[in-house]
Structure 1
């Protein structure tokens, strides 16, 4: 009988010794993911709007992990290039979670070019260019994990959110394209598609009794998701347990898509 050593018993979900970068970690899904990664042992670099991530930094540090905070508007391409290069030069980044995103609800006939561009620059272009800047060092090193936050609207069209749906379809496409290109170099690129979560992005839906009821009636779990529901999926995709998972969009939706 083989005796397991302490090393061989190490959990494949253990992230000790790893450094994770998370965008938009100041609240909601991003905050829960950052804290979940810290609980699994990772140190964090938090990228987001000025002054928005102090509470997350404190939560990470409360778990005994390091947390660096850098200001970044992911819709600003020059800033993404500058901060991405700075982070890659200063640290060995093992995990990148592209969470930052916005949604703007309006009738499609009233959608302005400015609104369209804000959503696409934040949700899609910022995600791609940060992945490019930080992913380059992962490819060179031969190891890394990138986790993109997509949406159920990577599969569906939604209502009055055409720019958001387009951007999240794009996130799924980028995820698969980078997985194809970077997989042979040892870098896994996956995405999480959250279902209907109780976050700021869904406030309008939750406050509309008819929409809220119709949504809940379709979810087998019978409830809105919480930010904490996403953290476990992010830890899994960031860990060695997911070394053979690549180009996948993991739906975390309480069963919505099963209907």
Structure 2
């Protein structure tokens, strides 16, 4: 097998869980285990009980946000872990793509990421939502691309979870920030970078997300979070920057 455990994430996209599981089972390289973290969606009719009976599941009767699945992933027994957002359906060669990329670019991998593009001093208190280029399924890259942070499907070595949890998040960031945090922690403690494996436009089977533009947004923790969610994400971004998170563009700043 591939020495990979997949962690799925349940919330309100009940039917998408079935599609995700099928996509995982159809990978060109088989995975060792599939586990499910389930945040209670507020309505039992939105819970996919069938899939919970089929694969190992941890069910929270409250919504613990986006961070808890990274704690659940500590139960994996494989070298690698791949965590999926609930709107992320991978192509059949995604796991293979990640394993191949790890051989040449050992670091945090994902199906989407961003690289910031303005000088660091001006960006210290700027908006998280501005001044970056995306790469991955929604902005294809033919070659491996270094980015500042990653998202939607994270592929990494299980041992790196100890670094993820070395600094604990403020509870006010329950529904955001895990993506930036992981990239920053690996940079700070292990000197590892974040990368997007190749997402060639002519081979979607290598992509980590095939239907992100269709499934993203609706029923997400993001859209159903507090009205000032954008402000909260900006605060988190700037906290990480002020704490020492180095962006790629910083390397060119004297």
TM-score of Structure 1 vs Structure 2, range by shorter chain: 0.3 to 0.5
TM-score by length of 2: 0.32
Specify which structure has the higher proportion of strand.
Answer: 2
Give the structure with higher Rg (CA).
Answer: 1
Specify which structure has the higher proportion of helix.
Answer: 1
TM-score by length of 1: 0.32
